[in-house]
Structure 1
Amino acid sequence: MLDFEAGRTVLDAQPFSRMLGARLTRLDGDRATLTLDVRDDLRQQYGYIHGGVLSYLADNALTYAAALGLGPDIITSGFSIEYVAPAKDGRELQADAVLVHAGRTKAVARCEISMVSDDGTRRVVATALGTSMVRNRGTTTAVQH
């Protein structure tokens, strides 16, 4: 329900994504991939990529995968992340998400974040599971004040 060009437009409309330099590199079928070049300013005190950067990638990749089932007018309703290995040595991070299930108003997706080395070797550094929901259900019965 969301095509690649529309997805790139959505990502470009996010100032935080532009600041990080995130790129949408896949959006088709039931899969979405976000890619981010590794930079020293994304690291924490031990030299690993900061967990907040990995969480950002998971959040956005999961929501893109959910948009493939629900359409673009959605928001993250929750996600959990597990850091499985230090994200230290590599040239880029890739967050690969897949749509698990989409209902009428809510979708579930899962994600693996990998560190990609200069030779193309991938090492999973985090996994995530998340839900997204339709942002605007179209009608409201709330009283306006």
Structure 2
Amino acid sequence: MTQTKLIQTFVVCLGIWASHVYGDTQCTNLGGTCQTDTNACSGPYVSGLCSGPASRRCCVPGDSACEVIFGTCKTDTLSCSGIYSSVSAREAAQNLISCGVQSGKISSSYTLSGHRDVGTTACPGTSLYNEIQTWDNYSST
């Protein structure tokens, strides 16, 4: 192998290594670890902080402040679906919203709407729909 080819190969390998190491800095600065998002994560996955393919995301450890008020968010979805028949489940939903506001993940001026407000549906049920209309920041528009 010629010296020029060897140097080119080294530079390419160094570039790939540097993009992985330096491309993960934003994640590690949050205390997270870049990994494939099919692996288990003790907290939420955050996109855009790791080098590599879109499936390589930052696993940020669970927030202890959130755990104190019933849970750790483990997804990056914008919905919370399920059957909320008990008081504790509804309180957990409100606590999750409070946690998001306190941690800066949800704006303090957020608007809460039931999906009946944006389209015709038979869910989430009359009693839950009536209740969320009494929650902070509820708006029918």
| TM-based fold match above 0.5 | no
More helix by share: 2
Query: What is the TM-score of this pair, normalised by structure 1?
Result: 0.28
The structure showing larger relative contact order (alpha-carbon pairs under 8 Å, at least 6 residues apart) is 1
Larger radius of gyration: 2
